[in-house]
Structure formats: structure tokens, C-alpha cells
Structure 1
């Protein structure tokens, strides 16, 4: 990397150059459309292929492939191409036997007929008991179940996917029974072009039923179901007898499909998904917390600024007087306030990692505003965050090494290596343990070996070299000059009362603010983890030990990342503030 010495490069142009190169390569390999740019037009009679996705449950947090249950399946199961984000989310998109024809209703189509053995019955019962939902996709739109709202007339919320089945008492039998949803009434909503007569799909809904189908005579392909009238609008003639899940029980899977013209345009078809019946998003709590934080931050800022201006005026007035005045307040520790802290190398590592996180979040938000991360690009958010994290490694190396050089550090290569491996290494260990547990449960959420190799390549093949490049550039720059000189002998910190430590630092002659600024702001991650624990015991109904371990494991990773980014923001705020106030007063 010696050739970099002759170039006056900063991390921003290097990063932009790398991003342009990656975008060119991605464009040549695989492209995706933005919402509203490339809709698909269908003529009457065109084939519509329904794809099946993972089975999900809020009780277990473990996704499974659709065909992990003995559902009707085609002769050859084909996997759809999935991006990195989809794989990490546990998505497994495959073909199915549900095939429609555009704007041609179909009534009581038989998909297949199954006879359950003991294993199949047990698997269905387990998924029904854990409240698993079946997810399907048509024209990139996920399947939803419309649920009428009780507080508003003619208004619906939507639930992603339909439940595998239900359980309960039936016909006065005290024993709890399991029933499967074996009849699906699909509704495909379309927006028709008045000129070309072509149509675009703008909605995909379903109403599931549990029906014990009956038929006369021996079963064959031409057998007519007596519980199904293909000439009636409501094809299920008798749904009073649900289909029980039990060994040696026969199950016939059927479906209807109806087409409804809609005024919703293709560009607005995702708007309905904003009304999803998702109890896991607490928008009111989020907005309320943000308002409280902004209000309290404003009050604290006003108080501190008022006090600060008063102190600065007082100190500068004393300097103009002829008589020597004794230094007081935060000016008293000016000779020690920029003294390097204990474990300064570790602080540099975490500050650099926090800068990497902050850059990733900032650019991700910009992409989201521009529409690159819309719901139509499934898995795009996670993919973008991973790639941005990798490329932001150049800023991590730059920030950590700049701070390291200010602390009189000389071995920038060791600092770069620590910055590149400390945080990802800790997260990787936790992630591998959790992934092993998911593998043990045979869940589709387990990351395949090929994806593992891709993640390792992104880490060591791209992120680590970029961290070294950023560190090299940062170390070549002149060291950051402090506004005041540091004494050779550390000043003794007076013993502090319990109420003065550690909230009021500099005013109580305690100049050890470096780590305190990072840990104080980063401690908000503790609140996040405690709230996640409270939410687990009050809202979730997770009963399996593995699911609980996965929940707390992933929340631990999220809280750790939150600690790093908030700690870095707090550190830089204090760093800028401290440099500003000491450069505003006259010190001999």
C-alpha cells in the first residue's frame, strides 16, 4: 500500500469509487426494478403462478419451508433466486400447484388428495398448535387475510398469510381437536387499462376454510365433490363439518379464485400493507419516546449553554484583570482534560466501529427515502445494510486511527486489525451459536454454508482491507491538536461525594470523561434490552426454550450494536463540546 503515500486521498472519494464499481458489477449481473417503474401487464387468460414462501409463527420465531409439511407439491420443486437478505430472513420461495388464469374465475379446483400417516398428522398438529401461518406470493405481492375492523365500518386490516389450521372443541367432545385449512378462497384484485384491456395485479387476498369434503363412489380424477358446487358463487356447500387432523384421515385440498377490478393503481398497491395487523410495531411508543428525548435534550442543552456562556464570560473577564486570580470550575483541570484514558486502544476501536454503524444507518435512510428499499424488493433492506456495513469499513479505520494518533499511538496496523475484527468477531460467535440451534430445529432460518462463506468473504475480503485503507489514510494525516497542553504529571482527583459522581464531571475536578461519555450514552442499549425482556414476558407467547434463546440472542446482538452507535454519538458530542469550551477561554 506504499503507493497510497503519493496520493492525497480521503475516505469519501475512495468509498464513492468503490460504490460506483459495485453498482456497475451488480447492474451487469442482476437488476431489480423500483416500485412504479416496471409493472407486469397481464392479458385475459394469461397464466398466473402462485409461489409459496416460508411458514412463520410469532410464538416460536422459527421459520420453516412450506414443503416441510406434507402439503400438495408439484413433481419438481424449484427454488426462486433469492438475494442475501432473503436467505438471512429465512425466506424460501418455491413453486406450487396453485395456478390461475388471469380474469377467469375458478371454482372448487382440487389440488390433491392426501391420507395422513402418524408422522404427517403429528407435524400438522405441531404447526397448528404453534400458530404457524402459510405465506404465498403472486406477482411479487404477499398473500394477506382481510380482517374487518371492529371500530370502523367497511374498513379492514390485513394479516400476512393464513393459519395452517385451528384447534378447539367440537360437537360437544371435551378433547381438543385440530382442524386444517384445506380450502382456500383466493381473491385477485386487478387494475385494468381502458385502452389496451391489459390488467395489473394490485391485491392478493384469501379466506381459509376447514372443510371435510365428501364425494360419491371411488375416488378418481373425475370424482365430483358433494360438498362443493362449482356453479355457485359460494362453492363450499357445507362447511359445518371441519376437516380434522388425525392419523389415517383423508384430506382433500381445494381452492377457489375470484377476480375483482380495483381502482387502486399499480404504483399504490403496497399502500394497503401499511395497515397490517402487526402488533410487534409500537408506533405510538416510538413517537412518544422520540418526543420525550427531544424535549429533555432541548431543556438540558438550554441549561448547559446558559451556564457555559456565563462561565466563559467570567473566565475571560478575570484574565483581563491585573491581579492574579485563582482558577476555579472546569478551567481548573485544563492541564489534564485531554490526557489519554486507560484502555485508549479499545476506545478507539469502538469509536471507529460506531462511525461505521452510523454511516451505514445514514446511507440506508437515504436509500429508503429514494425508494431503493421498498417492500417490492424483498430482502433488499438487509442486503443493503450488510453491503453498506462492509463498505463503511473505510470510515471505521479512518476514525479509529485518527483518534489513536491523537493519543500518541504509533502502531496503526494493530489498531486497524482490532477495528476490523473485534465487533464482527463477537457478533459472529453469538450468531454461529444461534445458527447451530436453528440448524438443530431444522428451520429454514438457518443460514446455509454457501451464505456463510459469502458473509466471511464480505468480512475478510472487502471489509478488512477497507479498514486498513482508511487507517492508512487517517494515520498519514497530521495528529489532532488539542486546544490546551497536557501536564506531564496527572492531577489528583479529589474524593467525590456519592451524588457528585459521575454525573457532574469537570465541575467536580474529575477529568476522566473519555470512557464516561461513551458508556453513559451507550447505556441506552441497556434500556433497550430491558424493554425487550419486558416485552417477552408480557406480550409474546413463546414457550420453547430454543425460541427464547434465539429471541434473547438476537436482541443481545441488536442491543450491542445500539450500544456501539449511541456510545460513539455521545463520545463525539462530548469531544466536540470539550474542545469547544477549552478553546473559548484564555489559558496560559
Structure 2
């Protein structure tokens, strides 16, 4: 593990060489990020970097700032070297011609004058029509603004006309406290907008800006608090809390109701099966009747164990992410921190997948343990890599910053090839050498019993629908806030609430899967292995269904690139969700089945 961690650190260092303005120190929360190097004196240069531009409604469709014919710095455009997570987050930090030296005010400073060509007009007009915005960073503080505006003109007679105006002047309002930058705002002056409608020709524009500095008493450690209330990112905490509490109470009541019924039924079963008279033995039925088949190992053992191993890895990965979030690593607009954590932690937790998958595979008397390790390596990464290649190709065609550069792809492949796969193999070898037995409480018959004909509502698909609905009802309110953060411009900071919902999701998934497993065994259907996994993971299908509702009813997103990114990456997230919750459901069912068959006399 030490060599893997060292290699990962080396690769991450090679992938980032941030300048002095990006150095940070660890802190207990996002409100106390002590950035000791962010101190300036009068007239010290503080660069303003342009990160991206794109349609406001399509967060994934982002482009480099100079895709639009803006003025460039006189000494040429220089790009800041970014970390791996920042690149994955579609940032491309380019220098701008705006001079925002510390505590130096400017008034109507001209960056350039130019005559817009027809091509320039088309680019700007498209950007204004699609409501494009720009995102910049000043001393690691994000700032946004819009490219222009559209005005609808209704003449006395005829069809309404639309006028497109380009903002050519920007007012920067910067606040400082002593030697530190605390806040920056951008105001676009509508009085200095230029008409770039289709009937205009040879438009001469003068791009300019102003800088105003003011003092504030806000401490440097607290400068990120404002992004909780930023106009682009409103979070209605009262509604949020009320919805979460309402969902939790509803789910807990339903869970308690089902638990009461299940415990009463089980108690009656134990009383009935504990009798030793011969007549009862002859009339044996229900889940005790199939005790010789219930521990018959499932078909496709290698794939099943690979799914369980990968699901266990993703479950552990989620716990590590929550731990980092609760100590304040993912503070607002910490560019790419979450992506970096996901890549590194996924690589380091690969040993868990290998160990769990191969250990169970050997316990299930599997012989091809090497093949099982390979299946474990690729069962999630393989589909994800195929989806990534397709979506990255789409982004390249669009020339979007969402397309990862070749160097970043190489680094990720090296991490996967030199860390993830070796750790999976090492974990698999350790699992293969694990001497634990499956230790089934009942002997398995040589030949399986015939399964009686069952009504349609006891088949796999209806059972999955019932199993997925209750856990989904516990999280659907939270899903809106998560989607609005990942696929929108809101900020998600309530990690403690998300952890509570996550715990409830795990508990409800485990319970509902156990209940359905009991009902399945009670009708003498012993094929519970894959069924419990599918029922546990079926919540992912409801989540993916919610994706369609959110995309078409709530988001306002459009276009082939945004559509493919939204449904493609959400599909892979839901697949990981399926593996994790399927593992939770199967493990809970395994514990339950062991317990009930240990409590009765099966021989």
C-alpha cells in the first residue's frame, strides 16, 4: 500500500504545478482555509484568470475564454498549469488583459479597440442568444458575468424582433482586509453595450474596465461564507430541512411497520418449525422446506463475486469521501478537489474489491480465481472507460474544455495500470489465500428442488420495483439539490444532512431486501442470491428514471453534448450506485438467511 500511495502522490505532483496563489494549507473546515501566501502589498500584481465560458443552462458545455474574440493580453495568453482535478472539472486558466493590482483603482481602462468581423459577430451573437456566461478566478475567488443581453422589441405591426447587445465594459468591485483580498464582484454596464444584431455591419467596439477597491472587516478565514448566499447559488435551508425530515419520518414509519409484520411472522415460523412431531415433519413447507437448496451457490459466480467486491469498494469509497467532506476538504469552489479525491481513493481502495471478490469466489468453490480478479478489475472500469471515450470524443468535436487533454488521460491510465490493477491483484491473492469457509448452516442437496409456479408479482421485475421504491422515496428530495449542484450552478455544502440521508438509504435498502428475500423463500423459491442483489440495487433504476424528469422538467438543458454528458455520466454513476446498494442488499440477506436457518433444526 505504501508504494501505491507514493506513486499516486508522485503522479499528482507531476500533474500540477500551481503558482503561488494556489498554495493552501489544511484546515478543519472550509471557513478556515488559511492561505498564508495570499498576502499582498500596494500595487502587487494579482492575476485574473479566465476559466471558461459557455451556455448558462448547459453546465457541461464549456469552452475556453478566448473561443470568443475577446481582447488578449499584450504579452500573449499564458495558461496556468492545473492539477488533475481542476482539468477534469473543465477549467482552463488563461491570463486576461485586466490589470487588477492590489489596492490600485482604475477608471475606464481600455484593453483594446477592434472592428468586429462577420465571424466575430456570429460568435458573439450566438453567445448572447444562448445566454453565455464567463467564469474567472481572482486570488482563488470565483467570479461570474454574462456576455450580453437580448431585448425583445414588439413593433406596432408585424413579428417581434430581437436585439442582441454585447457588454463591452466591466466594473470590478474588490474588497480587501489589510493585506488580503476578501471579495470580488463583477458588474457589466448595460449603458455601454454594443448592438450586434444581424442587420449591423462593421461594428467598432472598445473593450474597457474599471476597478474599485474598498475596505471590509470580514476576516480572511471567513471570505468563503458569501458563496452560500451567492445569487447564482441560492439554497433554501428551511425548505431543505423540512423536506428531509418529512422524508425521514415517512420512511422510518414504513420501515417500522414492515419490521413489526416480519418479526411476528418469523416468530410464528420458529414456533411451528420447533415442533418435533412426525406429522409436522411430513407437512413441512415454506422456507424450511428448501433448506437443502437455499445455500446452493448462484450461477455466474465469478461475475456475482466481482459485483460484490466492486460494490464493497464503492461503499468504502463513499465513506472516505464523507469523512473528507466533514473535515472541510470540499469547501465551496475548491476547484477539482472532489474529482482528485475520487480518482485517488478509487485507486487505493481497489485492494478491497480484489480481496472481497476473490475471497467469496474461493468460498463458493470457484476454480478460476485469476479470471475472477480480471473480471473484478474491469466490471466497472470497463464500461466507464467506454462511456468516457465516447463522451470525450463528443467534447473534442465540440472543442469544449470538458474534453480531457491527452496528458491527463495518460496520467489517469497510468494510475489505473500501475496502482488500481496491481492493488486489485494483490487484494485478490490475499483473498484467495484466505482460509475462511462459507460455513453454511445446512447441507446442500445434490440436485435442486423444483420451484413451484409463482404469480407474476413474485417475479424479479415486480420485486425490484417494490424494493427500489421505498429507498428512493428516502432520497428523492435530496436528489434535486445534488443534481442542482452537479448539473447546475448551486453550491452543495450540507454534507452532514447528506450523510444522514445516506445512512437511512443503507438501512432501508438492507431492510426491504431482507423482507423480500423472506417472502421469496416462504414460497419455496431458493434463487435468492442474484434476486437480493438486484432488489438491493434497483434503487439505481429509480434514480436514473429521475434523471429524465430532472433533465426535461427542471433543468432547461438542451443540445446533443449536454444530453449525452448528462445521461452518459449519470448512467455510470447509477451503475456504481447499483453495485453498492446491491452489495448492501445481498449482505443483509445473507446475514438474515444464515440467522434463520441456524435457529431451526434442518437435518
Inter-partner Cα distance in structure 2 for 1:441 and 1:576: 51
Q: Are residue 141 (structure 1) and residue 122 (structure 2) matched?
A: no
- Matched ranges for 1:317-356 at <5 A: 318-319=275-276, 325=281, 326-356=283-313
2:351 matched to which residue of 1? 394
CA contact 2:4–2:419 (8 Å) conserved in 1: no
1:94 matched to which residue of 2? 94
- Matched ranges for 1:286-365 at <5 A: 289=247, 292-316=250-274, 318-319=275-276, 325=281, 326-365=283-322
Q: Are residue 553 (structure 1) and residue 568 (structure 2) matched?
A: yes
CA contact 2:64–2:401 (8 Å) conserved in 1: yes
- Report how far residue 473 of structure 1 moved: 0.5
Residue 44 of structure 1: which of 42, 54, 57 is its match?
42
Inter-partner Cα distance in structure 2 for 1:307 and 1:586: 18
- Report how far residue 115 of structure 1 moved: 1.2
- Report how far residue 264 of structure 1 moved: 2.2
- Matched ranges for 1:83-122 at <5 A: 83-122=83-122
- Matched ranges for 1:20-419 at <5 A: 22=8, 32-34=24-26, 35-39=32-36, 40-60=38-58, 61-74=60-73, 75-143=75-143, 161-169=144-152, 174-191=160-177, 198-212=178-192, 242-244=194-196, 246-277=200-231, 284=240, 289=247, 292-316=250-274, 318-319=275-276, 325=281, 326-375=283-332, 377-419=334-376
1:148 matched to which residue of 2? none
When the two structures are aligned, how many residues end up with a matched partner? 521
TM-score, with normalisation over the residues of structure 1? 0.82
- Report how far residue 179 of structure 1 moved: 0.8
**Closer/same/farther in 2, CA of residues 407 and 546 from structure 1, 3 Å limit:** same
CA contact 1:483–1:583 (8 Å) conserved in 2: yes
1:154 matched to which residue of 2? none
CA contact 1:182–1:243 (8 Å) conserved in 2: no
- Report how far residue 22 of structure 1 moved: 4.8
Task: Find the residue that maps to 2:209 and give its secondary structure.
Answer: strand
1:584 matched to which residue of 2? 599
- Matched ranges for 1:415-434 at <5 A: 415-434=372-391
1:448 matched to which residue of 2? 405
Cα RMSD for the two superposed structures: 2.7
Inter-partner Cα distance in structure 1 for 2:195 and 2:457: 68
1:223 matched to which residue of 2? none
- What's the CA shift string for 1:24-78, capped at 9, x where partnerless? 8868997742352333222333332211111132433311011111111112211
- Report how far residue 254 of structure 1 moved: 1.5
CA contact 2:145–2:188 (8 Å) conserved in 1: yes
Inter-partner Cα distance in structure 2 for 1:527 and 1:564: 14
- What's the CA shift string for 1:537-566, capped at 9, x where partnerless? 112333423332232222222222221222
- Report how far residue 19 of structure 1 moved: 3.9
- Report how far residue 167 of structure 1 moved: 1.1
Inter-partner Cα distance in structure 1 for 2:260 and 2:132: 52
2:581 matched to which residue of 1? 566
1:195 matched to which residue of 2? none
- Report how far residue 170 of structure 1 moved: 5.4
CA contact 2:227–2:233 (8 Å) conserved in 1: no
Inter-partner Cα distance in structure 1 for 2:249 and 2:367: 44
Larger CA deviation: 282-291 vs 567-576 = 282-291
- Report how far residue 585 of structure 1 moved: 2.5
**Closer/same/farther in 2, CA of residues 541 and 280 from structure 1, 3 Å limit:** farther
**Closer/same/farther in 2, CA of residues 298 and 104 from structure 1, 3 Å limit:** farther
Task: Find the residue that maps to 1:446 and give its secondary structure.
Answer: coil
Inter-partner Cα distance in structure 1 for 2:234 and 2:309: 32
- Structure 1's unaligned 5+ residue stretches are 1-13, 144-160, 192-197, 213-240
**Closer/same/farther in 2, CA of residues 17 and 302 from structure 1, 3 Å limit:** farther
CA contact 1:402–1:480 (8 Å) conserved in 2: no
- What's the CA shift string for 1:134-156, capped at 9, x where partnerless? 1011110101xxxxxxxxxxxxx
**Closer/same/farther in 2, CA of residues 77 and 242 from structure 1, 3 Å limit:** closer
TM-score, with normalisation over the residues of structure 2? 0.80
Inter-partner Cα distance in structure 1 for 2:226 and 2:46: 22
- Report how far residue 389 of structure 1 moved: 0.8
CA contact 2:134–2:146 (8 Å) conserved in 1: yes
CA contact 1:401–1:475 (8 Å) conserved in 2: yes
Larger CA deviation: 393-402 vs 563-572 = 563-572
Task: Find the residue that maps to 1:47 and give its secondary structure.
Answer: coil
- What's the CA shift string for 1:185-222, capped at 9, x where partnerless? 1111222xxxxxx332221111112344xxxxxxxxxx
Task: Find the residue that maps to 1:101 and give its secondary structure.
Answer: coil
CA contact 1:243–1:251 (8 Å) conserved in 2: no
Task: Find the residue that maps to 2:46 and give its secondary structure.
Answer: strand
CA contact 1:91–1:444 (8 Å) conserved in 2: yes
**Closer/same/farther in 2, CA of residues 421 and 533 from structure 1, 3 Å limit:** same
2:439 matched to which residue of 1? 481
- Report how far residue 336 of structure 1 moved: 0.8
Residue 590 of structure 2: which of 560, 567, 575 is its match?
575
CA contact 1:32–1:377 (8 Å) conserved in 2: no
**Closer/same/farther in 2, CA of residues 32 and 295 from structure 1, 3 Å limit:** farther
Task: Find the residue that maps to 1:509 and give its secondary structure.
Answer: coil
Larger CA deviation: 367-376 vs 106-115 = 367-376
- Whichever structure has more helix as a proportion of its residues is 2
Task: Find the residue that maps to 1:169 and give its secondary structure.
Answer: strand
CA contact 2:537–2:577 (8 Å) conserved in 1: yes
CA contact 1:103–1:259 (8 Å) conserved in 2: yes
Larger Cα-atom Rg: 1
Inter-partner Cα distance in structure 1 for 2:88 and 2:234: 20
Inter-partner Cα distance in structure 1 for 2:568 and 2:25: 35
Inter-partner Cα distance in structure 1 for 2:213 and 2:264: 66
**Closer/same/farther in 2, CA of residues 21 and 581 from structure 1, 3 Å limit:** farther
Inter-partner Cα distance in structure 2 for 1:279 and 1:528: 23
